[in-house]
Amino acid sequence: MAERPIVIYGDPVLREVSEKIEQITPEIKNLVSDMKDTLKKAQGLGLAAVQVGVPVRLFILDLSVIDLSETLRVFINPEIIETAGEVEIEEGCLSFPGLYQKIVRNEKVRVKALDQDGNEFIMDADGMTARAILHEYDHLEGKLFIDRMSPMTRTLLRGRLRKLTAAS
Ligand SMILES: [Zn+2]
């Protein structure tokens, strides 16, 4: 059990397309465990493996942050099966400390993934859960939430983004 440092914007690993996990090895289990500790410490809603510098197709969501009846969920090799609607919600990212912006994304999502024991599950989500799934899924594709901002917003944020890059 150990936290790992969260990779900040500017580190090229965040642009890598994460690789499929062929087998849930002890290393992967260890990574999941460390990511749980890291997410808890950061008090975030979601964390992708690439955000701790390991570009494999894995993310976790701590849904209890928004819904007390929920728990932490692990998504291995997730696939977005279906999306519907569009909604603009403010979101942040642990790789962009202090930056929050309204982003347009799908409102609903159906996702298929493996849990940490390798069991397949399908989940239908909306609201903040759908938002978090889509945000984390983007990380696996090397995509960041700034890519979904308008060119004008990105221009306005240029100074702050440069500061993050310099600090990483
Ligand atoms: Zn993020």
The tokens describing 19, both together, are 């690789």
The reported pTM is 0.95
Phi, psi of 153 (to 5 degrees): -60, -45
Which of the residues are catalytic? Answer: 136
Report the relative pairing of strands 100-105 and 87-92 from DSSP bridges: antiparallel
Decide if pLDDT at 65 tops 80. no
Report the alpha-carbon distance of residue 18 to residue 28 in Å, rounded.
Answer: 14
**pLDDT for res 94:** 97
SS3 108: strand
Q: Which residues contact 149 (CB under 8 A, 6 or more apart)?
A: 101, 103, 157
Ligand 1 center from residue 48 Cα (angstroms): 7
Identify the pLDDT of residue 70.
82
Task: Tell me the CA–centroid distance for residue 17 and ligand 1, in Å.
Answer: 14
The number of helix segments (H) and strand segments (E) in the chain equals 4, 7
The length of the chain is 168
Distance spanning both ends of the chain, measured CA to CA: 25
Query: What is residue 15's predicted lDDT score, i.e. its pLDDT?
Result: 98
Ligand 1 centroid to Cα of residue 121, in Å, is: 23
Give the mean model confidence (pLDDT) for residues 55-73: 89
Q: Which residues surround ligand 1, an ion (CB under 5 A)?
A: 93
pLDDT at 1 over 80: no
Scan for tokens 């197709």, then name that residue: 57
Q: How far is the CA of 92 from the centre of ligand 1 (A)?
A: 7
* Residue 47 alpha carbon to ligand 1 centre in Å: 7
| Angle made by CA atoms 64, 59, 41, in degrees to the nearest 5 | 55
Looking at residue 116, its pLDDT comes to 95
